[in-house]
Every structure is written in structure tokens, then in C-alpha cells.
Amino acid sequence: MLGNFEYCNPTKLYFGKKALNGLSGELEKYGKNVLLVYGGGSIKKNGIYDEVVKILSECGKTVREVSGVMPNPTYAKLLEGAKAAREFNADLILAVGGGSVCDYSKGVSVSAYCNEDVWEKYYERFEEPDCRIIPVGCVLTMVGTGSEMNGGSVITNTDKKMKVGQVFGENVFPKFAILDPEYTFTLPKYQMTAGFFDIMSHIMEQYFSGSDDNTSDYIMEGLMRSLIHSSRIAVADPLNYEARSNIMWTATWALNTLVAMGKETDWEVHMIGQAISAHTDATHGMTLAAVSLPYYKLIMPCGLDKFVRFAVNVWGVSVEGKTKEEIALDGLKEMEKWMREIGLVLNAKKLGVEPDMLGAIADSTLIMQGGYKVLTRADVIDILEESLNYE
Ligand code: NZQ
Ligand code: ZN
């Protein structure tokens, strides 16, 4: 049952080869001052920086840069960007990068004119902004988070060892996003496949939640099948445009609020993954891969019919002569095979997690209520322990 809801996604997308051609038409809608935000320098190596700066200059924009936005962007960096945006009187924040840069830019957009403690307001009390919001536009260079078309902003508070995602409303969504699959071609394989699993996890953490049989479930099954198909091609041939473009499009629709309609959504795998990143700075998508199999095996008995449906509709498992448990477990076995095939991390030790860290990571893990089973702290530790046993 879908229930009642309002749906609006205000982000305008420009998708495909040379999608950057849409940028000048968007820039015209905003004032002169553009805050250009990017990461550690990948865009300078692959030429995207030069392309963007050339268009900004042709459009007569005054540009100030905030660079060095790190993966798992920190609260300290956020405050630095908010100060720069305010002092520069930015009319637009142009995020050029992956999810970290997009998330960070949204965090800056609501913090520049916020007179309260930003961490407490947005990342502890999860409030909406009630101050001036600077519009954000994204040029995406990495696929996975869906940040280009949602209100998510995940920030790491290194002092508190907490990594927390705020999901802002439509007025914080990027006003536009430029999605050129070829911009992702320079991604190292590790980052590329980490992004693939981030997409899979986004879908699974909405799919495995109530209510359990509506249009969103059918859309998600199609998105997962598309991802599984194209990821196998992309791992074998990273420059395959069709595969990379299908995956880019899947990532956007996995987390632009569409498939959450009618679903309670879980997000516990993300909470454990984010806690791992808070303690290890590990790559987001790999933290999710490292805890997913233990997590889904733990909750499977609480949602057995849905795991049977997952095995059949997504992984094509045959049901002949099998019990429900056998079918469901075969589905998770097929997923494990795919994870190994594309080179994901299954053992959290490879992310820097040591046995003596499990308690602290569990203490940093937010417990969610929307999944099939509400975890205890002991469950979180069991999941982490089981991950450490994977070969
Ligand atoms: O910093 P640069 O030099 O750009 O290098 C980046 C970074 O080191 C590199 N990279 C990006 N595009 C590249 C490239 N290298 C070569 N060629 C390219 N085209 O890749 C590295 C990782 O980039 P990052 O932006 O950190 O990765 P991702 O896009 O996976 O973003 C992860 C962040 O997004 C948050 C995560 O928690 C994490 O902080 N998330 C945001 C969500 C949202 N807004 O809805 C939801 C997600 O679940 C996730 O939590
Ligand atoms: Zn994610």
C-alpha cells in the first residue's frame, strides 16, 4: 500500500555526453558571485576544472574557490566553507565532485547565514534551516550517493567521532545537476565499485522495509537488476559508456526520494557503515559492503517472504524443491558472489577495524526503527565480529 504522500523533486538534471553545455543557461539565473567547491584535485587532473572555470569566465562570473573537500567531509571544513561563502556573499555554490563535495556544499548553503550552532541544529536536532539558503548546483564526477538530486548532507564531527547525515527538504536540494557519465571514467576501480555498492545499499535499505508490496518495490527490483547487469560490464570494461551511464542513472533514482514513497525505510547498514567511517575514515561504500551480509542474514528471519522475493525477482534464484529459508539464503549467496566478483571489501579489517574497536563503533552507531528488526548494541557488535571473519 503506497499510502498518502506529496512528491516533489526540484532538481533539474542535464544528463549525457557534454551535459556541461547546460551549465551556462543555469548560471544566468544567479548573481555574479560563484563559490566553486571541489575536492582534492581529481578535477584538475582530468580536465573538468578547466572546462568549468572557462564557462564561469565566459559567463562573467566572479569566482572564489573552496578546495580540499575531503572524502567524509568534516565539520571543521564545513565551518571554513560557511565563513568563506558569507564573506564572499556567494550567489551560487557550484559543487564539482562526488557525493562528499555535493553534501558539503549543501551543508555550507544552510550554514553560511545560520546564527546557531550548526552541528547541534542540523546534525543533532535534525532541524530545517530558517536562515538564508545559498542555492547549490552540482557537476557530478562520482556515482553512488545520489547527492546530486536529494537533500542529503553527511558530515563527520571528528571531535565527537560521529558521522551523521541530515536529509534536508526540497529547498536545499541542488537546483540543477550536470551528469556526464564520461566524467566518472577517471575513477579508480576501488572508488567505482564502492559507489556501486552504495547504490545497491541505498536500494536494499528501502526495499527491506514495510510496507512490502507496492510500486516502489517493483521499481527497486528493476534498479537492482540494472545495477547488477551494468556493474559486471563496467568492472570488465570501465570505459563502457552504456554501462556507466546506466549506473549513473540508477544511482540518482535510488536515492532521490522516489522509491522511498510508501516505504518505512531502514538505513541501519548506513548507520553502522558511517560509524566505521567515523572511526577509520574508510570509503563509504566499502563500509556498507563489509557489514551487509552479516546484517541481512541477521534480519532475514524477520522478513523471510521479502528475502524470497529478492532472491527470485532480483537474483533469479530457482525455487524448485527448496524451503523458503533455502531460497532466501540462496539469494544472499548470489549477492555475495556478485560482491566478490566486482571486488568489494567483505572483511571490515581491510577498512582498519580492529577487534578492540567494536565497542566504540557500536557506541557511534545510531539505531534505526524502520527495518525488520531493531538492533541492540550487542547485535551491532555481532555483525562487526562476523564481518571480521570473512575471507
Ligand atoms: O577529492 P577528489 O580529488 O575529487 O577525489 C575523490 C575522492 O578522493 C575521488 N573522485 C571523485 N570523482 C573522481 C574521483 N577521482 C577520479 N576521477 C573522478 N571523476 O573519489 C574519492 C571519493 O569521492 P567522494 O565524493 O568522497 O565519494 P562519494 O561520491 O561516494 O561520496 C561519499 C560521501 O557521500 C556521503 C557519504 O557518507 C560520504 O561522506 N553520502 C551521501 C548521501 C546523500 N547525500 O544522500 C547518501 C550516501 O549514503 C552517503 O552517505
Ligand atoms: Zn550511502
Cβ of 142 below 6 Å from ligand 1: yes
Q: For the chain, 391 residues long, give each residue's pLDDT as a single digit of tens.
A: 888 999 999 999 999 999 999 999 999 999 999 999 999 999 999 999 999 999 999 999 999 999 999 999 999 999 999 999 999 999 999 999 999 999 999 999 999 999 999 999 999 999 999 999 999 999 999 999 999 999 999 999 999 999 999 999 999 999 999 999 999 999 999 999 999 999 999 999 999 999 888 999 999 999 999 999 999 999 999 999 999 999 999 999 999 999 999 999 999 999 999 999 999 999 999 999 999 999 999 999 999 999 999 999 999 999 999 999 999 999 999 999 999 999 999 999 999 999 999 999 999 999 999 999 999 999 999 999 999 999 8
Measured from the Cα of 285, ligand 1's closest atom is: 30
Please tell me the distance from the alpha carbon of residue 7 to that of residue 323, in angstroms, as a whole number. 39
Cβ of 181 below 6 Å from ligand 1: no
Q: Are 19 and 179 in contact (CB under 8 A)?
A: yes
Written as nine digits, the cell of 4 is: 498518502
Instruction: Among 46, 72, 256, 284, name the best residue to mutate to test ligand 1's pocket (greatest count of ligand atoms within 8 A of Cβ).
Output: 284
Cβ of 187 below 6 Å from ligand 1: yes
Written as nine digits, the cell of 30 is: 544567479
Q: From residue 28, give the alpha-carbon distance in Å to each of 34, 49, 115, 177.
A: 11, 19, 30, 15
Cβ of 145 below 6 Å from ligand 1: yes
What is the three-class DSSP state of 233? Answer: helix
Task: Supply the residue whose CA is at minimum distance from atom 14 of ligand 1.
Answer: 187
The whole-number pLDDT of residue 1 equals 84
Nearest ligand to residue 284 Cα = 1
Cβ of 46 below 6 Å from ligand 1: yes
Nearest ligand to residue 186 Cα = 1
Q: From residue 284, give the alpha-carbon distance in Å to each of 43, 187, 319.
A: 20, 15, 34
Cβ of 165 below 6 Å from ligand 1: yes
Please tell me the distance from the alpha carbon of residue 336 to that of residue 334, in angstroms, as a whole number. 5
Written as nine digits, the cell of 247 is: 549506473
Cβ of 77 below 6 Å from ligand 1: no
Nearest ligand to residue 238 Cα = 1
Place of cell 543555469: 26
Ligand 1 centroid from CA 183, angstroms: 13
H/E segment holding residue 99 = helix 99-111
Task: Supply the residue whose CA is at minimum distance from atom 47 of ligand 1.
Answer: 145
Cβ of 255 below 6 Å from ligand 1: yes
- Which of 225, 378, 194 has the alpha carbon at shortest distance from 292? 194
